[in-house]
Structure formats: structure tokens, C-alpha cells
């Protein structure tokens, strides 16, 4: 095609032995998993020579804190677990994907975003989500919120709570949004600016807007979305309110350390 740059995305877990304290998080001597998602823009012009122009790397640092026994958040509404890859085991796109399938995925993601952007529509939240999501969808949320299964539980454990916790919001757009085959996603820096009325993850109400940096990766199954992996830079989100999430571990009981 005529593209001058190409975006590539990678998502999964980095695994290692947690033998040294990291960012003040106490070592455990056990295996640890760092959930990550990276977007990379590559210059594919002849002059650019296939070199990287920019990258955005998101990691779930609170997830490592929980593994070390220093959970900085109040009880979360969803499940906390090592999140698997796609149910279809087709997450690695090593071959060229069908352009029509990619366009179909991106169109569905855009429709879902449009629906989410209209909090004042007359549909119930259940009916709204059912337009673009399978009933047995899985929402793989970040540590502090957790994962949910089915539209009903997603509403109870995140979506409904989230909408009820903010009085105003500003959509700032995405740095990158694309689809390849049955997968697609985006990230922003920030995506949203939100004014809290209290309730979300124990937040207090405020008259200020706070920026939220978010990653969403989706898998489409047929005509609707089936899975969604989400990263939110919660350390940055709370730091704007004067809350240092990493420093909270100093007041928590450290996990038993094993050499």
C-alpha cells in the first residue's frame, strides 16, 4: 500500500524470578508475571529503512504488587488472575490478514466506541452492550478492577460502576487505532479526562478532571466482540489526585521473602 508507517502491537506477560526489590516492591524469590502491552510505530519507507519511530509500553505494575502481597487498592469488583491469551489461540498474526476481515473488526470497534460515548441514550446498559458484544463476553480488566465474564457481570463489576462514578468526561482521541484480522485495538495518551463524583476504586469526588491513559485490545467473533484486554495507567491516574500508589506498600505488610 501507500502507508509510510506501520503500527505493530504485542501483548502478554513477562515472566521471571522476583529476586530483587523493584520500585520498592518487596522481592518474593518466586516466579512473577508482569502483564504488558506495547504499540510500536515503524517507518516502512525506503528512506526510513524499517526503523522504529515511537513506542508506547503499558505494564500492570499493581499486578506485581499483588503477587508480592502488597495490594494497594480496596477490594476489587472483578477477578484477579493471570490472564490468558485469546480463547482461539490465534493471537499471533504471522501472515497477512484479510483486509475485509480487518475492516469488519475496525468497524465493529468504532461502533462500540460510539455507543460507549453516548451515556445519555435511551437504551438500558444491557441492551446497549448487546449490540456489539456477545452475551458470554470476557473483559480482562487491570489489577484494581479485575476480570468479568458475561455482559451481566461486566455491568455489575465494572461498566455500571464506572459510568456512575463520573459526572463529566472528555474524549481526547487515540494515538493509534487499527485492526488486523479478527483482532484490533487502540491506546491514548490520554484517551479520557474524567470528573469523579466518588465511588470508583474508592476515589473521592472532585471538581477537577483527571486524565486516563488506556489500552484496549479486542477479539471479534463473527458479528460481535468476544474478548477485551484492558490496561489503565492507574498509577498516573491516582497520582494526579495526590495519591502515590507505589508508596502505599510501605504501610502494608510485606510478603514473606524467600531467598
Q: Number of structural domains, the chain? A: 1
Tell me, what's the pLDDT at 119?
62
Q: What is the mean pLDDT of the chain?
A: 92
pLDDT at residue 258 tops 60: no
34 falls within a domain: no
Identify whether the C-beta of residue 203 lies closer than 8 Å to the C-beta of residue 241.
yes
130 falls within a domain: yes
C-alpha count within 13 angstroms, C-beta hemisphere, residue 14 = 13
Confidence class for position 254, pLDDT limits 50, 70, 90 = low
Tell me, what's the pLDDT at 202?
87
1 falls within a domain: no
Confidence class for position 144, pLDDT limits 50, 70, 90 = very high
Mean pLDDT of 71-77: 93
54 falls within a domain: no
Q: Between the CA of residue 94 and those of 9, 90, 91, 97, 204, what are the distances in Å? A: 12, 10, 9, 9, 46
**C-alpha distance across the termini of the chain, in Å:** 54
* Minimum mean pLDDT range among 27-36, 95-104, 170-179, 197-206: 197-206
138 falls within a domain: yes
Q: Residue 157 sits in which domain range? A: 74-251
258 falls within a domain: no
Identify whether the C-beta of residue 169 lies closer than 8 Å to the C-beta of residue 196.
no
Q: Which helix (H) or strand (E) holds 161?
A: helix 160-164
User: pLDDT tens digit string along 52-64?
Assistant: 999 999 999 999 9
* 3-class SS of residue 86: coil
pLDDT at residue 250 tops 80: no
pLDDT at residue 101 tops 70: yes
216 falls within a domain: yes
Q: Give Cα 251 distance to the centre of its chain.
A: 27
pLDDT at residue 129 tops 80: yes
CATH assignment at residue 115: 3.10.450.50
100 falls within a domain: yes
Identify whether the C-beta of residue 161 lies closer than 8 Å to the C-beta of residue 146.
no
Length of the chain: 259
User: pLDDT tens digit string along 183-239?
Assistant: 999 999 999 999 999 989 988 899 999 999 999 999 999 999 999 999 999 999 999
Mean pLDDT of 81-93: 94
Amino acid at each position: 500500500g501507500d502507508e509510510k508507517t506501520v503500527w505493530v502491537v504485542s501483548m502478554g506477560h513477562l515472566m521471571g524470578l522476583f529476586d530483587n526489590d523493584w520500585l520498592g516492591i518487596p522481592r518474593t524469590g518466586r516466579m512473577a508475571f508482569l502483564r504488558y502491552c506495547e504499540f510500536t510505530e515503524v517507518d516502512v519507507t525506503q528512506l526510513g529503512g524499517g526503523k522504529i519511530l515511537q513506542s508506547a509500553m503499558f505494564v500492570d505494575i499493581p499486578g506485581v504488587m499483588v503477587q508480592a502481597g502488597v495490594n494497594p487498592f480496596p477490594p476489587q469488583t472483578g477477578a484477579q488472575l493471570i490472564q490468558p491469551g485469546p480463547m482461539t489461540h490465534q493471537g499471533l498474526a504471522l501472515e497477512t490478514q484479510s483486509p475485509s476481515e480487518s475492516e469488519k473488526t475496525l468497524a465493529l470497534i468504532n461502533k462500540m466506541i460510539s455507543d460507549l460515548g453516548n451515556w445519555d441514550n435511551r437504551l438500558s446498559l444491557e441492551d446497549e452492550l448487546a449490540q456489539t458484544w456477545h452475551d458470554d463476553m470476557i473483559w480482562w480488566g487491570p489489577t484494581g478492577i479485575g476480570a468479568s465474564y458475561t455482559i451481566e457481570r461486566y455491568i455489575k463489576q465494572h461498566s455500571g460502576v464506572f459510568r456512575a462514578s463520573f459526572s463529566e468526561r472528555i474524549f481526547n482521541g487515540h494515538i493509534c487505532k487499527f485492526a488486523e484480522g479478527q483482532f484490533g485495538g487502540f491506546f491514548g495518551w490520554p484517551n479520557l479526562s474524567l470528573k469523579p463524583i466518588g465511588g470508583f476504586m474508592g476515589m473521592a469526588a472532585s471538581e477537577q478532571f483527571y486524565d486516563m491513559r488506556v489500552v484496549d485490545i479486542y477479539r471479534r467473533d463473527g458479528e460481535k466482540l468476544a474478548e477485551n484486554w484492558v490496561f489503565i495507567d492507574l498509577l498516573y491516574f491516582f497520582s494526579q489526585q495526590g495519591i502515590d500508589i507505589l508508596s502505599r506498600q510501605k504501610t502494608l505488610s510485606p510478603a514473606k521473602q524467600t531467598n
